[in-house]
């Protein structure tokens, strides 16, 4: 199967919303699979895209995804949590 073609053109606003939703869903699937490192990376990318949206565009992201992103961001990945890789072994 050939590799997926990528383009360097900027995303339109509708594509940006769609990509944000996709990234949140990918992060959720990693979370459900207990793959925390991958989840953290996808969540960071999704949050960056989400924060680039306007208020009206944020409303177009399904509420379930918005709630998951906020809840996981604050509770499990917030500033009060220990950064990954700092544990003793």
The predicted pLDDT at position 54 comes to: 93
CA distance 34 to 16: 27
Question: Tens of pLDDT along 9-46?
Answer: 777 888 999 999 999 999 999 999 988 889 889 999 99
pTM over cut 0.85: no
Question: Tens of pLDDT along 41-61?
Answer: 999 999 999 999 999 999 999
User: Is the residue at 25 inside a domain?
Assistant: yes
State which residues form the domain around 38: 13-75
Query: How many domains does the chain contain in total?
Result: 1
SS3 86: coil
Closest CA to 56 of 14, 11, 9: 14
């Amino acid at each position: 199967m050939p590799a997926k073609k990528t383009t360097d053109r900027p995303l339109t606003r509708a594509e940006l919303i769609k990509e944000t939703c996709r990234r949140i869903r990918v992060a959720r699937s990693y979370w459900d699979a207990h793959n925390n490192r991958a989840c953290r990376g996808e969540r960071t990318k999704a949050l960056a895209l989400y924060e680039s949206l306007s208020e009206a565009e944020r409303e177009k992201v399904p509420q379930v995804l918005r709630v998951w992103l906020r809840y996981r961001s604050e509770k499990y990945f917030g500033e009060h949590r220990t950064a990954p890789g700092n544990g003793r072994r």
